[in-house]
Amino acid sequence: MALKGELYTADTFSEEQIASVKKHFLELLGQEVSFEIKRNEALIGGFLAIIDGKIYDASVSHRIKETENVLVHGNDADGAEITAEDVNLTGSKPKPFHSSAKAIGSALKQRLDTYEGKSAVYEFGVVTSVGDGVVRIDGLSHTRYGEQIAFNNEIYGMTMDLETDGVGAVLLNGQDEVHVGERVYGTGRVVEVPVGDELLGRVVSPIGLPMDNKPLNAKRYRPVESPAPRIIDRQAVNHPLMTGLIAVDGIIPIGRGQRELIIGDRQTGKTTIAIDTIINQRGKHVYCVYVAIGQKLSTVAQIYETLQAVGAMEYTVIVVSNASDCAAMQYLAPYAGCAIAEQFMYDGKDALIVYDDLSKHAVAYRAMSLLLHRPPGREAYPGDVFYLHSRLLERAGHLNDKLGGGSLTALPIVETMASDISAYIPTNVISITDGQIYLEPELFHAGVRPAVNVGLSVSRVGSSAQKKAMRKVVKKLRLTLAQYRELQIFAQFGSDIDSVTKEILDSGDRLSETLKQAQHEPLQMSEQVLLLYAVMNGYLKEVPSPHVRAFQKGLLQYAHHNYSPLLDDIESSGDLTDEQIKELSACIENYHLTCKA
């Protein structure tokens, strides 16, 4: 039985030419093809055939396009000339980090056009339904999961559901411009994002479109989704990634290659901990990626200004999917950010990525899944919502030396409601990660910042991700804090307190004051060791609790001025010898004498 097809030609073909075309497809497909002949002068010359849901483009116009793309390739970020007007950044009041649907479509089109070895054979389908950014397509039987598909007018989507009778896809731009009956073309490429050092200091969208009104000259691309490193490709997590926060580095240490969850209610300082950690990587050769998922643009602009002011943008990339973006863009954002950070890891470097936050990511995925008519489960989330985050967070790790020894540390953020950490998404992410930093609203409102709850916070890597010097001074820190918190509760109910209890409460008060820290003022490891050694060894007994922070600030200044070599030695060696302990004691005692004088 002969296949039916359509044959478009620029000029009228003779019988001999049509017979030649039929013979060509008989050899190619192994079946005879019966063509309906149509004219299309836009082809200029040659022909374009549509057979069994595939387009075979042997036209002159197609060859001209390929030649033009080769000539212009490398002119800018994606081979495209995107003007300031395209990304909507001109005018008296430009929107910060905003990108238009036109700019997204143009960038994706030009990126696809510049791929080498692009086939002249395309598979197509037909839109059967469209609404709320979700499209059902009849055809595209050979498409892949996550493949980029093309509509008319430079509109693109991504396949999400592969079914026997068609494909379900989400639109990346032009949500209101796709219509039923329209043809959809498979591109043969999964969604990719630019990677490499060119992105440092930049703000980009989940598809790699610059959002800071500057050209992006990217040379490499990476799929937004890729398999996690195998177990045999990894090595143990034993090198610390310092956050600069005493409460975290002392009690809940984080190692390079670890996945540590930051969890807590709204407005408890979750993002602040992440930003402080990024700031503390200055000079430590750690490349950082901050992913904003569903955030207000004003919030992202504020974070950008903070990082820019302290010089942290030199080694940081910000990936933005704002609150007004479609669910597909919010879904893509963490995977795109992970691809960017992952490239640093595979290049043998250390990287840190912050996902802010995965609660909004799960909500965006739920919206997409419900629109795709996937069966809802608990809290209306689809059944694969666990896999959604596990395949993302498993990409973090510490590669072995054969693969370059690079690492990717992940700090996912999850927002809880009314301190309920037993909700669906929090418990899912807790079970995937290697520990969590739980921020308690009561502590935050009581002025304990960072408001880390020592009892519910844990690091499963533990002391193996701490320097020896830190390990020596924090041996009894968690136990002392736990005793203090417990006695503090009981002390509220009674007026008579014995001397031992009063001493524990007093020392606990001073320890709590030591753990308090102003935002965006991270401390070096040697500074933390000095402060913790002072409070854990009773050197602050004579200092009233309200004056502890002022005393410690003065102590740090005194140590930097008079004992700078000691701090440098501790910082470089990471150890604390008996001789150095004597010097630390002398430093604190001498400062005491200076204060009294």
Catalytic residues: 460
Q: Coil, strand, or helix at residue 359?
A: helix
Closest alpha carbon to 79 in 88, 92, 70: 70
Q: Tell me the β-bridge partners of 592.
A: none
Residue bearing tokens 């004579």: 542
> Do 294 and 360 meet the contact criterion of CB atoms below 8 Å apart?
yes
- 124 exposure class (CB count in 10 Å sphere: 0-12, 13-18, 19+): middle
- 360 exposure class (CB count in 10 Å sphere: 0-12, 13-18, 19+): buried
> Do 461 and 434 meet the contact criterion of CB atoms below 8 Å apart?
yes
Q: Return left, alpha or beta for 311; rule: phi > 0 is left, psi -120 to 50 is alpha, else beta.
A: left
**Sign of the dihedral through C-alpha 513, 514, 519, 521:** positive
Q: Coil, strand, or helix at residue 539?
A: coil
- 20 exposure class (CB count in 10 Å sphere: 0-12, 13-18, 19+): exposed
Calpha distance 277→252 (Å, rounded) = 13
- Token pair for 33: 């093809």
Phi, psi of 457, deg, nearest 5: -95, 145
> Do 182 and 155 meet the contact criterion of CB atoms below 8 Å apart?
no
Closest alpha carbon to 410 in 331, 355, 465, 328: 355
CB proximity list for 333: less than 8 A, separation 6 or greater: 206, 291, 292, 293, 319, 320, 321, 361
> Do 386 and 425 meet the contact criterion of CB atoms below 8 Å apart?
no
Residue 476 CB: number of other CB atoms within 10 A?
10
Calpha distance 271→245 (Å, rounded) = 14
CA 441, chain centre distance (Å): 25
- 157 exposure class (CB count in 10 Å sphere: 0-12, 13-18, 19+): buried
> Do 317 and 288 meet the contact criterion of CB atoms below 8 Å apart?
yes
